[in-house]
Homo-oligomer: A and B are copies of this chain.
């Protein structure tokens, strides 16, 4: 008989007597000191059950069955997890990462992978864990220009810089390399390995924008959700995260001190009332969500002397975004604008399935921008095209080479965008997924009232300035 049989049986029938009954089926051992960490307990190999064992640790994995959940517990004291067998009615909240306290008996195991296991009589969740995102570290240098907007900084060695077009130098990395404009593509790869992931990483844009809202080197907070086809879920995550930040902030004493109108405020800071209004705007119950198509209709109907005439198919300018923020958000609440035309958005965004009343030849992408009053765009996100054929088609439509070439000197007729690896992510089990990127320095400015983003960095870099 397979040693796994009793477990299988227990899972198949509620009435089958299980070896995991709470009245111990094992003789009882008596020892003087019972270890209280995973490492110590794993070293203890009694032939009889040891009762009154207590252990604190973190849930590493869970295998849920009908009567029992098999929970791997780690506490850093050992690379090996401890197997805890938890009655199903005690298993609520035992999710990966949760901090737990377990009471039970340490008994010889019939399982193949461990000599002993903890038969749990009581499981208490001390620190719950849900929707756990894993922090990752994404690279600065990349061969893939994710936005394709040409606003990248190229990386060249001294030799390459000095070489002429007639006599080019062999590239250090054998291909053109940039400082990253976004960690998104790499986050997508990491999400396939780790599930939901995030990073807070320096990113770089060669935009010739000398404004109080632009840095050439800035921090972007990016998150990628795996196994979701709901753009609403991505927007909910962003909205809830920002609400949590601002409600914690608003509830704090620090807030009252920051916003005290009787305290002299540096002229480098926005007035306290303005900052208070931003916070309460972010705290609005439900942020309006409108489609790009609805936004364009509002702009077309507006009695406003726009410098750029609004028109479906063109990107929204700052003047348009400001109008939308006032019209839809009452100059108060943040506003999501969704489903922009595919043609003005990057290749990786998932094609929309509804046509929003527009003829289907004018397709949209499942994407969104988050606009806040005064600052306009502070974050953006999308569902990613996870279907290989659709992604190839989207790349072709933009003149991007969808064939992977290991030797970059070949296939020179079409520029190599080094996106073969990104296509490969779609080949062997790519779940639907999506995510967002948030300008972290802009958020700091917005929440604190710092007037220019240059003041958020110890050594700010922007158009024309990188002096040290």
In the complex, A140 Cα to B144 Cα: how many Å?
19
Contact of A174 among B139, B257, B464, B468 (CB under 8 A): B464
Instruction: Verify B141–A252 contact, CB threshold 8 A.
Output: no
Instruction: Verify A252–B77 contact, CB threshold 8 A.
Output: yes
Closest to A464 in B: B174
Residues in B with CB closer than 8 Å to A258 are: 79
In the complex, whether A96 has a CB less than 8 A from a CB of chain B is no
The segment from A63-71, A202-210, A427-435 found at the interface with B is A202-210
Residues in B with CB closer than 8 Å to A139 are: 202, 217, 457-459, 461
Given contacts A78-B257, A153-B156, A190-B458, contact A216 B141 (CB under 8 A): yes
Proximity string of chain A (235-263) to chain B, C-beta cutoff 8 Å, 1 when within and 0 when not: 00000000000000000111001100000
Instruction: Verify A155–B158 contact, CB threshold 8 A.
Output: no
Instruction: Verify B190–A463 contact, CB threshold 8 A.
Output: no
Residues in B with CB closer than 8 Å to A165 are: 164
Interface residues of A in 375-395 (CB under 8 A from B): none
**Footprint of B on A, CB under 8 Å?**
39, 76-80, 136-144, 150, 152-158, 160-161, 164-165, 172-175, 177, 179, 185-186, 189-190, 202, 204, 206, 208, 216-217, 252-254, 257-258, 418, 421-422, 457-459, 461, 463-468
CB distance from A241 to the nearest CB of B (A): 20
Given contacts A156-B153, A458-B190, contact A143 B216 (CB under 8 A): no
Instruction: Verify A204–B141 contact, CB threshold 8 A.
Output: yes
CB distance from A468 to the nearest CB of B (A): 4
Residues in B with CB closer than 8 Å to A156 are: 153-154, 156, 161
Instruction: Verify A140–B217 contact, CB threshold 8 A.
Output: yes
Residues in B with CB closer than 8 Å to A143 are: 466-468
Instruction: Verify A154–B157 contact, CB threshold 8 A.
Output: yes
Instruction: Verify A153–B155 contact, CB threshold 8 A.
Output: yes
Instruction: Verify B257–A186 contact, CB threshold 8 A.
Output: no
Closest to A43 in B: B253
Closest to A140 in B: B202
Lowest 5 CB-CB distances: which A-B pairs, in order? A39-B253, A173-B466, A421-B468, A139-B459, A78-B253
In the complex, A144 Cα to B153 Cα: how many Å?
17
Closest to A208 in B: B172
Closest to A422 in B: B468
Closest to A158 in B: B150
Residues in B with CB closer than 8 Å to A39 are: 253
In the complex, A158 Cα to B208 Cα: how many Å?
12
Instruction: Verify B154–A467 contact, CB threshold 8 A.
Output: no
Residues in B with CB closer than 8 Å to A152 are: 157-158
Residues in B with CB closer than 8 Å to A217 are: 139-141
Closest to A159 in B: B206
In the complex, A253 Cα to B172 Cα: how many Å?
43
Given contacts A79-B254, A172-B463, A422-B468, contact A154 B161 (CB under 8 A): yes
CB distance from A325 to the nearest CB of B (A): 30
Residues in B with CB closer than 8 Å to A190 are: 458
Closest to A263 in B: B79
In the complex, A172 Cα to B216 Cα: how many Å?
10
In the complex, A140 Cα to B153 Cα: how many Å?
12
Closest to A156 in B: B154
Residues in B with CB closer than 8 Å to A79 are: 253-254, 257-258
